[in-house]
Amino acid sequence: MKLTRTFPAEPQSVAAARRFATGLLADDSAGLRDAVELMVSELATNCIRHVNASFEVSVEHSGESLHVEVRDQGAGRPVMRSPSPDDLTGRGLRIVDLLAARWGVRYDADAGKTVWFTLVAPRPAEAGETVEAHMIQRRRSPARRGGTATRRGGTSTRSVRSRALARRALWPECVRS
């Protein structure tokens, strides 16, 4: 089932978008909820900061797959930055790249763009694990080896070989509002 909600271009919409997305995942692991919360927060912040228009969040949970989309009316193209440790911004897409199994950008000629990501929900035996443990487990999966990245054409897919460690280096702690 896919659920969608539209949010106004206001700073408090970021927290509302997080609550909307994680509220639909009450039966999933804390690690999955934390990852979704962080990524939705980053993408919603990008909509407000760079587009300054309302945005739409869609969450679709089917089996072990979770697909989230954040759509806005902006014409700009998202760019993954490489911020210095002193930079206060510029880490949003890097976080999505580190945590998502797959992610990308879909451009609509008259309706802006959609940044999406997919996660694989942990099996029930893994419930309660941290995001880092979930990423390490995914890294060991033979199906995850040899990831590719395609920036042109709107789709990005990355291997997760060192995502857990890189995530810790980028975000030693997450602050929630």
Q: Do 59 and 46 form a contact (C-beta atoms < 8 A)?
A: no
Instruction: Report the range out of 25-34, 85-94, 114-123 with the highest average pLDDT.
Output: 25-34
In this predicted model, what pLDDT tens digit does every residue of 144-168 receive, in sequence order? 333 333 333 343 333 333 344 344 4
Residue 8 has pLDDT above 90, yes or no: yes
* Rounded Cα gap, residues 12 and 10, in angstroms: 5
- Which CATH number is associated with domain 2-170? 3.30.565.10
Q: Do 161 and 139 form a contact (C-beta atoms < 8 A)?
A: yes
Question: In this structure, what are the phi and psi dihedrals at residue 56, rounded to the nearest 5 degrees?
Answer: -125, 135
117 pLDDT band, cuts 50/70/90, is: very high
HSE at residue 23, side-chain half, CA atoms within 13 A, is 11
72 pLDDT band, cuts 50/70/90, is: very high
pLDDT given for residue 130 in this prediction: 55
Higher pLDDT among residues 100 and 133, named by residue: 100
Residue 41 has pLDDT above 60, yes or no: yes
Q: Do 53 and 9 form a contact (C-beta atoms < 8 A)?
A: yes
Residue 74 has pLDDT above 90, yes or no: no
27 pLDDT band, cuts 50/70/90, is: confident
E-state strands within the chain: 2-7, 55-62, 65-72, 102-108, 112-120, 155-156
In total, the chain counts a number of residues equal to 177
* Rounded Cα gap, residues 60 and 68, in angstroms: 6
Residue 69 has pLDDT above 50, yes or no: yes
- Is the whole model's pTM more than 0.85, yes or no? no
Quick one: 164 exposed, middle or buried, by C-beta within 10 A (0-12, 13-18, 19+)?
buried
Q: Do 70 and 168 form a contact (C-beta atoms < 8 A)?
A: no
